[in-house]
């Protein structure tokens, strides 16, 4: 296929590109998309918040990393497909996010902005707050899944968020599950400075790790529960440190409240654990979170 070439965005008013991700019913099929040029959200004061169907979109929040663009993508342009290369991380995210039968509109900084055009890049970056604020949802990509991350998602959903099970989670039998949860909180996405803005501006957000998904709200509540259990239940920390097999967790336990995930939850006030019905007063707040610092 010939190489994909960006077309210059219309001048005179603000426009953005939306990635129209084509569906696939199988994971082994290559990723393909079309880039649509639409007016920037909030650019026209006459326009209502609701937009035409082909302009509705979700925004991706992800960790770029340092990998080179080696994964080929088929981009539909002017009646034929052209080749564009993206990083393996982004290719994995797109495979996880695409639907089996319907298209999905996404805004992704790495491809919706021509990264080789400094003027366009600077102009588009100035609109990023509006882009994330007007997105239907923010998709948080933590990276490809593994056995540990799947265990963490299952633990949060099936046990940690079930109020009647909390008293049984601070024992030897659940230690490995807590370790998986702590490992999830160490994912590279939480080290990005921009994620505070991207989550704070989101109308709603969903976390994706491989094929596992969870609402940001549920994840935030789980993080707050972990931090408060460490602070208010000394026996919990002792159990987590007991076995040498999990000795590397000790530093995480001591500083769980200062991990990027904990600081982000605090900064965005997304969890609101003690305002949730059923959780009020279950764990008495015993400390204040530190403010988010530079990462």
Q: Are residues 145 and 225 in the same domain?
A: yes
Based on the structure, what is the number of domains in the chain? Answer: 2
- Spell out the SS3 assignment of the chain: CCECCCCCCCCCCCEEEEEEECCCCCCCCCCEEEEEEEECCCCCCCCCCCCCHHHCCEEEEECCCCCCCCEEEEEEECCEEEEEEECHHHHHHHHHHCCCCCCEEEECHHHHCCCCCHHHHHHHHCCHHHHHHHCCCEEEEEECCCHHHHHHHHHHHHHHCCHHHHHHCCCHHHHHHHHHHHHHCCCHHHHCCCHHHHHHCCCCEEEEECCEEEEHHHHHHHHHHHHHHHHHCHHHHHHHHHCHHHHHHHHHHHCHHHCHHHHHHHHHCCCCHHHCCCCCCCCCCCCCCCCCCCC
Q: Are residues 172 and 116 in the same domain?
A: no
Give me the pLDDT at residue 257, please: 67
Q: Are residues 157 and 230 in the same domain?
A: yes
Task: Give the pLDDT confidence of 217-239 residue by residue, as tens digits.
Answer: 999 999 988 888 777 776 676 66
Q: Are residues 167 and 264 in the same domain?
A: yes
**Domain enclosing residue 38, as ranges:** 15-136
100 against 44, higher pLDDT: 100
Q: Are residues 176 and 130 in the same domain?
A: no
Q: Are residues 162 and 241 in the same domain?
A: yes
- pLDDT confidence band for 167 (50 / 70 / 90): low
Is 1 within the bounds of a domain?
no
Task: Give the pLDDT confidence of 274-283 residue by residue, as tens digits.
Answer: 344 444 333 4
Q: Are residues 132 and 213 in the same domain?
A: no
Domain boundary among 101, 136, 171: 136
Is 199 within the bounds of a domain?
yes
Task: Give the pLDDT confidence of 56-94 residue by residue, as tens digits.
Answer: 899 999 999 889 999 999 999 989 999 999 999 999 999
Q: Are residues 93 and 191 in the same domain?
A: no
């Amino acid at each position: 296929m010939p190489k994909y070439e960006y077309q210059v965005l219309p001048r005179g008013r603000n426009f953005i590109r939306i990635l129209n991700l084509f569906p696939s019913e199988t994971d082994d099929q290559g990723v393909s998309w079309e880039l649509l040029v639409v007016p920037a959200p909030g650019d026209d004061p006459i326009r209502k918040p609701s937009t035409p169907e082909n302009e509705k979109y979700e925004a991706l929040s992800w960790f770029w990393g340092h990998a080179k663009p080696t994964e080929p993508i088929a981009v539909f342009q002017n009646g034929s497909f052209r080749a564009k290369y993206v990083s393996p991380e982004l290719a994995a995210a797109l495979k996880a996010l695409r639907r089996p039968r319907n298209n999905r509109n996404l805004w992704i900084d790495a491809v919706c902005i021509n990264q080789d055009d400094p003027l366009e890049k600077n102009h588009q970056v100035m609109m990023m707050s509006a882009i994330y604020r007007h997105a239907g949802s923010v998709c948080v990509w933590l990276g490809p899944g593994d056995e540990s991350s799947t265990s963490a998602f299952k633990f949060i959903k099936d046990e940690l968020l079930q109020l009647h099970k909390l008293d049984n989670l601070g024992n030897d039998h659940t230690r490995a599950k807590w370790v998986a949860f702590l490992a999830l909180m160490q994912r590279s996405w939480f080290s990005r400075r921009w994620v505070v803005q991207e989550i704070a501006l989101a109308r709603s957000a969903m976390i994706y790790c491989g094929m596992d998904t969870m609402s940001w709200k549920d994840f935030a509540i789980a993080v707050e529960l972990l931090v408060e259990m460490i602070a208010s239940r000394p026996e919990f920390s002792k159990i987590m440190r007991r076995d040498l097999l999990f000795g590397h967790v000790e530093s995480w336990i001591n500083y769980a409240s200062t991990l990027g995930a904990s600081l982000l939850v605090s900064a965005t006030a997304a969890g609101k654990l003690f305002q949730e019905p059923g959780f009020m007063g279950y764990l008495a707040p015993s400390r204040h979170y530190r403010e988010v610092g530079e990462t």
